[in-house]
Chain A
Amino acid sequence: MASSSKPAASSGSKKDQLYDRCAEAPPDTVFYQRDLADMQVADDSASLMMLIQQLVDAHMLQVMTWEGQVCYKLRSRDEAAKLKSMTPDERLIFSHIESSGTAGIWTKTIKAKTGVTQTIMTKCLKQLESKALIKAINNVKFPTRKMYMLAHLMPSEDVVGGPWHQDGELDVDLIEALSNIVVRFIERESWVEQKQRGPSKVAIAKRKAYVLSSTNDIEAEPPLFKPPLGPHKLPLIPHPSSHRHYPTCASILAYIRASGVVDTSVALQEQDLQVLLDNLVFDGKIERMGALGYRSVRGAVDREGVGEEGDGNGLSQAPCGRCPVFSLCGEGGPVNAKSCVYFTEWLRTG
C-alpha cells in the first residue's frame, strides 16, 4: 500500500540510493542533514527533505534530536518491514517500549502516555509479543507490575546493589580502575597519532624565504597548549569530521567484556556503564560526540605528568586568587598589598 503512493519510479530509486549510501556507514551511525546533503543524492535541500520524509514514512529512518538538531538513524529493511506491518496503535505502543530501553516500561505508564484503551492495548501487546518483538519482564522492586521491554534486550540490574557496590558501599577501587581503562580505550579510539612527517622540502624552502623577507619571526611562537602525546610520543590529532566510529556505551562494554579486565562475577550492564561514563563526563575526562559517541578530552590521559591542575587563569595564578585572607585585605587594613607576604613570595619565585 505504501508503494502505491510513490509518485514516480525515478524518485523511488533516489530514495533507495540515499538509503544505500547510509547503509554503507557502520551500524548505529547517526546522520545529520548535512551528512545526507554531502552524499549528493538529492539536487537541492528541498528534494533532500522530501527524500528524507519518504524514508521516515517508510520507517527506514528513525528521527532523533540531539542538542536541538534533528538527526537520523538507519533501520534495517527487516525492521522497517515489521514496523510497516503494524497497525498505528501497535506502532505507537512499540515506540514507547523501544524508548524505555533496558529499564522496561509499566503497562500503566504506556496507557497514560498513549491514551489507548485497555482492550486495544492488551490486543496490541499480544500481537507484538506473538511477533517476538517484545517480551514481558518482572521487576524485582515492583513484583506486581506488568512490564514490557524489547525482546532482544536484557533487563537491567536494579541500581541498588549494582556492580559498583560492595557490601552496600561504593567500590571505589573498582570504579577508579575501570575508569582508567575506559578513558584509555576511548582515547585510543577517538584520537589518532599524527604520522611523523618530516617537514616537506617545499615547506622548508617557503619558511626560509619568509624568514628572510620578513623581520617577524613566526617560528618563535610556541603553541598555546602543548599537544598531548599518544602512546608513541606523537601528537594526538582528531579524526576527520566524517568519522563515525566514536566509541559508544555498547562498544565500550563489548571491549570491557572481551578484554576480561573485570571479573565475570561482576555483571556489568549497559546502564551501569552509563553511570560511569556520565561521571567521567562530569570529571572532564571524556565528552559526548553526537548522540551516542564519546571522545576523550584532549590530554585526559596524562602521559607526561603535566599535573592535574592545568594552567588556571589570571586570577587563580595570582597570589590574591589563592589568598586565605583575601576577604580581609584592603588598603589600611590589617593585611594589605603593601605588606603582603604572599606577593613577596610570588615575586621571588620564578
Chain B
Amino acid sequence: MSEAVKKIVTPISIEYTITPGAAPTKFLRGIKEGRLLGQRCPKCSKVYLPPRGSCTVCAVPTVEEVEVSDQGTVTTFCVVNIPFYGQVQEIPYVCAAVVLDGADLPCFGVVQEIAVEEVRMGLRVQAVWVAPEERGYTLENIKYFKPSGQADAPFESYREHL
C-alpha cells in the first residue's frame, strides 16, 4: 500500500431560506395555529397534506382548502434502535407513517405513550401538540403521536397508502 492520503476535517453547513409559495404558506400559517390545512384535487378528490398547490397525479391546480383531523392511522412503521447524527429521540423509538383522517398522503412522526413492542399497523393515533405560545411555522409543532384509544383500523382501510 502506498503512503496514506492526508485528510482534514472542515465543518460545513448549508442554510436555506424557503419561499414556500401560496399553498404551503397557508399550511404553515395553519400549523402555527394548531390547524392542519390541506387541499383537495378537483379531479381525483384526493387531499394533499401538506398541499403543494397542484395534484401530482392529475397535473391540475388544487384550490379547495380542506381542514384535516389531527387523528389518524399508523399504516406502517419501524422501531429505530440506532444512534445517529442529529437524533433528537432516545432509542428505541417508533417512527411511523400516519395517514390523518381526511388526508390521502401519509406523514411521518414519532409514536409515544405506548411501549414500542405494542405499536402495530392499523393503530389509531392522535397528535400531541407543543404549547400554543411555542409554536412556529413548522411541523415540529406536532411533538409526537399517541394512541387515541380507538379500535384498530382494518388493513383494507389503509392498504392503498402503503
A, B: real partners: no
Give the interface of B toward A (CB within 8 A): none
Give the interface of A toward B (CB within 8 A): none
